[in-house]
Protein backbone atom coordinates (compact mmCIF):
# COMPACT_ATOMS: atom_id res chain seq x y z
CA UNK A 1 0.00 0.00 0.00
CA UNK A 2 1.42 3.37 -1.00
CA UNK A 3 1.92 6.06 1.65
CA UNK A 4 -0.72 8.28 0.05
CA UNK A 5 -3.27 5.45 0.37
CA UNK A 6 -2.39 5.11 4.05
CA UNK A 7 -2.81 8.86 4.45
CA UNK A 8 -6.23 8.74 2.77
CA UNK A 9 -7.33 6.00 5.20
CA UNK A 10 -6.07 8.01 8.17
CA UNK A 11 -7.80 11.15 6.92
CA UNK A 12 -11.08 9.29 6.45
CA UNK A 13 -10.71 8.08 10.02
CA UNK A 14 -10.23 11.67 11.22
CA UNK A 15 -13.16 12.88 9.13
CA UNK A 16 -15.39 10.26 10.72
CA UNK A 17 -14.04 11.14 14.17
CA UNK A 18 -14.79 14.84 13.75
CA UNK A 19 -18.29 14.16 12.43
CA UNK A 20 -18.99 11.91 15.43
CA UNK A 21 -17.83 14.72 17.72
CA UNK A 22 -20.21 17.19 16.10
CA UNK A 23 -22.97 14.96 17.48
CA UNK A 24 -21.31 14.21 20.85
CA UNK A 25 -20.15 17.65 22.00
CA UNK A 26 -23.65 19.11 22.48
CA UNK A 27 -24.40 16.25 24.90
CA UNK A 28 -21.26 17.00 26.91
CA UNK A 29 -22.13 20.71 26.94
CA UNK A 30 -25.65 19.97 28.11
CA UNK A 31 -24.45 17.57 30.80
CA UNK A 32 -21.61 19.69 32.23
CA UNK A 33 -22.42 21.39 35.52
CA UNK A 34 -19.45 23.78 35.53
CA UNK A 35 -20.22 26.91 33.45
CA UNK A 36 -16.67 27.23 32.10
CA UNK A 37 -16.54 23.59 31.03
CA UNK A 38 -19.99 23.88 29.46
CA UNK A 39 -18.84 26.90 27.42
CA UNK A 40 -15.61 25.16 26.36
CA UNK A 41 -17.65 22.29 24.94
CA UNK A 42 -19.88 24.74 23.06
CA UNK A 43 -16.89 26.65 21.70
CA UNK A 44 -15.10 23.49 20.64
CA UNK A 45 -18.23 22.32 18.83
CA UNK A 46 -17.92 25.35 16.55
CA UNK A 47 -14.20 24.65 16.06
CA UNK A 48 -15.00 21.02 15.26
CA UNK A 49 -17.46 22.07 12.56
CA UNK A 50 -14.65 24.16 11.05
CA UNK A 51 -12.31 21.18 11.25
CA UNK A 52 -14.80 19.08 9.28
CA UNK A 53 -14.82 21.77 6.59
CA UNK A 54 -11.00 21.87 6.51
CA UNK A 55 -10.88 18.10 6.12
CA UNK A 56 -13.27 18.39 3.18
CA UNK A 57 -10.79 20.84 1.65
CA UNK A 58 -7.98 18.35 2.23
CA UNK A 59 -9.92 15.72 0.31
CA UNK A 60 -10.57 18.19 -2.51
CA UNK A 61 -6.80 18.77 -2.78
CA UNK A 62 -6.30 15.00 -2.95
CA UNK A 63 -9.16 14.40 -5.41
CA UNK A 64 -10.78 11.87 -3.09
CA UNK A 65 -14.08 11.47 -1.23
CA UNK A 66 -13.90 11.93 2.55
CA UNK A 67 -16.37 9.16 3.37
CA UNK A 68 -15.92 5.43 3.43
CA UNK A 69 -14.39 4.71 6.80
CA UNK A 70 -15.89 4.74 10.29
CA UNK A 71 -13.59 5.69 13.17
CA UNK A 72 -14.07 2.92 15.73
CA UNK A 73 -11.52 4.50 18.07
CA UNK A 74 -13.47 7.74 18.35
CA UNK A 75 -16.67 5.77 18.76
CA UNK A 76 -15.10 4.12 21.81
CA UNK A 77 -13.82 7.39 23.23
CA UNK A 78 -17.25 8.98 22.77
CA UNK A 79 -18.81 5.99 24.52
CA UNK A 80 -16.57 6.72 27.51
CA UNK A 81 -17.89 10.29 27.52
CA UNK A 82 -21.45 8.95 27.42
CA UNK A 83 -20.59 6.69 30.36
CA UNK A 84 -19.28 9.71 32.29
CA UNK A 85 -22.61 11.46 31.68
CA UNK A 86 -24.45 8.50 33.20
CA UNK A 87 -22.41 8.33 36.42
CA UNK A 88 -24.11 8.99 39.73
CA UNK A 89 -21.38 11.41 40.78
CA UNK A 90 -22.37 14.70 42.35
CA UNK A 91 -21.11 18.24 41.73
CA UNK A 92 -17.46 18.70 40.84
CA UNK A 93 -16.80 14.94 40.83
CA UNK A 94 -19.29 14.60 37.96
CA UNK A 95 -17.50 17.30 35.94
CA UNK A 96 -14.13 15.71 36.76
CA UNK A 97 -15.32 12.61 34.90
CA UNK A 98 -16.27 14.76 31.91
CA UNK A 99 -12.83 16.39 31.98
CA UNK A 100 -11.21 12.96 31.75
CA UNK A 101 -13.40 11.98 28.81
CA UNK A 102 -12.78 15.29 27.04
CA UNK A 103 -9.01 15.06 27.43
CA UNK A 104 -8.96 11.49 26.07
CA UNK A 105 -10.89 12.76 23.06
CA UNK A 106 -8.51 15.66 22.43
CA UNK A 107 -5.41 13.51 22.76
CA UNK A 108 -6.86 10.92 20.39
CA UNK A 109 -7.35 13.68 17.81
CA UNK A 110 -3.90 15.15 18.47
CA UNK A 111 -2.33 11.75 17.78
CA UNK A 112 -4.34 11.33 14.58
CA UNK A 113 -3.51 14.74 13.19
CA UNK A 114 0.16 14.38 14.13
CA UNK A 115 0.37 11.13 12.15
CA UNK A 116 -1.47 12.61 9.14
CA UNK A 117 0.78 15.66 9.10
CA UNK A 118 3.92 13.51 9.18
CA UNK A 119 2.65 11.52 6.18
CA UNK A 120 1.58 14.62 4.26
CA UNK A 121 4.99 16.22 4.89
CA UNK A 122 6.73 13.12 3.55
CA UNK A 123 4.52 13.34 0.45
CA UNK A 124 5.31 17.08 0.15
CA UNK A 125 1.62 18.02 0.27
CA UNK A 126 2.14 21.51 1.64
CA UNK A 127 -1.48 22.67 1.25
CA UNK A 128 -2.70 19.58 3.07
CA UNK A 129 -0.14 20.04 5.85
CA UNK A 130 -1.29 23.64 6.36
CA UNK A 131 -4.95 22.64 6.72
CA UNK A 132 -4.17 19.74 9.03
CA UNK A 133 -1.86 21.89 11.14
CA UNK A 134 -4.71 24.37 11.68
CA UNK A 135 -6.87 21.50 13.01
CA UNK A 136 -4.04 20.20 15.17
CA UNK A 137 -3.40 23.64 16.64
CA UNK A 138 -7.07 23.91 17.64
CA UNK A 139 -7.00 20.46 19.25
CA UNK A 140 -3.87 21.30 21.26
CA UNK A 141 -5.43 24.60 22.37
CA UNK A 142 -8.68 22.82 23.33
CA UNK A 143 -6.75 20.32 25.46
CA UNK A 144 -4.92 23.18 27.19
CA UNK A 145 -8.19 25.03 27.87
CA UNK A 146 -9.80 21.90 29.30
CA UNK A 147 -6.75 21.30 31.49
CA UNK A 148 -6.88 24.88 32.76
CA UNK A 149 -10.63 24.66 33.41
CA UNK A 150 -10.11 21.35 35.19
CA UNK A 151 -7.97 22.76 37.99
CA UNK A 152 -10.77 24.36 40.05
CA UNK A 153 -13.06 21.42 39.23
CA UNK A 154 -10.51 18.90 40.50
CA UNK A 155 -9.80 20.99 43.61
CA UNK A 156 -13.53 21.12 44.39
CA UNK A 157 -13.93 17.39 43.72
CA UNK A 158 -11.03 16.68 46.06
CA UNK A 159 -12.81 18.59 48.83
CA UNK A 160 -16.03 16.61 48.44
CA UNK A 161 -16.54 14.02 51.18
CA UNK A 162 -16.05 10.43 50.11
CA UNK A 163 -19.19 8.38 49.92
CA UNK A 164 -19.11 5.00 51.59
CA UNK A 165 -19.58 2.18 49.14
CA UNK A 166 -22.11 -0.23 50.51
CA UNK A 167 -21.45 -2.63 47.68
CA UNK A 168 -18.67 -2.16 45.14
CA UNK A 169 -20.11 -4.77 42.79
CA UNK A 170 -21.40 -3.42 39.46
CA UNK A 171 -25.12 -2.70 39.51
CA UNK A 172 -26.20 -2.05 35.93
CA UNK A 173 -25.88 -4.42 32.97
CA UNK A 174 -23.40 -2.00 31.39
CA UNK A 175 -21.29 -1.94 34.56
CA UNK A 176 -21.38 -5.75 34.78
CA UNK A 177 -20.25 -6.08 31.15
CA UNK A 178 -17.48 -3.55 31.71
CA UNK A 179 -16.35 -5.34 34.87
CA UNK A 180 -16.29 -8.69 33.06
CA UNK A 181 -14.26 -7.26 30.16
CA UNK A 182 -11.85 -5.56 32.55
CA UNK A 183 -11.19 -8.84 34.37
CA UNK A 184 -10.70 -10.65 31.05
CA UNK A 185 -8.23 -7.95 29.90
CA UNK A 186 -6.28 -8.31 33.13
CA UNK A 187 -6.22 -12.11 32.88
CA UNK A 188 -4.98 -12.03 29.26
CA UNK A 189 -2.25 -9.52 30.08
CA UNK A 190 -1.19 -10.99 33.42
CA UNK A 191 1.14 -13.56 31.89
CA UNK A 192 3.02 -10.81 30.06
CA UNK A 193 3.13 -8.35 32.95
CA UNK A 194 5.90 -8.94 35.43
CA UNK A 195 5.76 -7.65 38.97
CA UNK A 196 8.30 -4.99 39.82
CA UNK A 197 10.15 -5.57 43.05
Task: Give pLDDT, residue 160.
Answer: 76
Task: Give pLDDT, residue 168.
Answer: 62
Measured from the Cβ of residue 138, the count of other Cβ atoms closer than 10 Å reads 19
Instruction: Give CA separation, 124 vs 17, 80, 120, 157, in Å.
Output: 25, 37, 6, 48
Q: Please give the distance of CA 139 from its chain centroid, rounded to a whole number.
A: 10
Domains of the chain by range and CATH? 3-160 (1.20.1260.10)
Concatenated DSSP letters for 101-143?
HHHHHHHHHHHHHHHHHHHHHHTT-HHHHHHHHHHHHHHHHHH
Task: Give pLDDT, residue 197.
Answer: 52
Task: Give pLDDT, residue 193.
Answer: 77
C-alpha atoms less than 13 angstroms from C-alpha of 115 in its C-beta half-sphere: 17
3-state DSSP of 13-31 = HHHHHHHHHHHHHHHHHHH
Q: Provide the residue-wise pLDDT of the chain in tens; the chain has 197 residues.
A: 799 999 999 999 999 999 999 999 999 999 999 999 999 999 999 999 999 999 999 999 999 999 989 999 999 999 988 988 988 777 898 999 999 999 999 999 999 999 999 999 999 999 999 999 999 999 999 999 999 999 999 999 898 777 655 556 666 666 777 777 777 777 777 767 766 55
Task: Give pLDDT, residue 106.
Answer: 97
> What's the pTM?
0.85
Amino acid sequence: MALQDVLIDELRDMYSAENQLVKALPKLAKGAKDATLKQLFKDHLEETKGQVLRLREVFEHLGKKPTGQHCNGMEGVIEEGADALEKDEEGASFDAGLVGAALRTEHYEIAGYTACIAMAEQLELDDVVELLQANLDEEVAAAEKITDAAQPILEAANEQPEEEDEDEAPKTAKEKTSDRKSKADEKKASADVKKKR
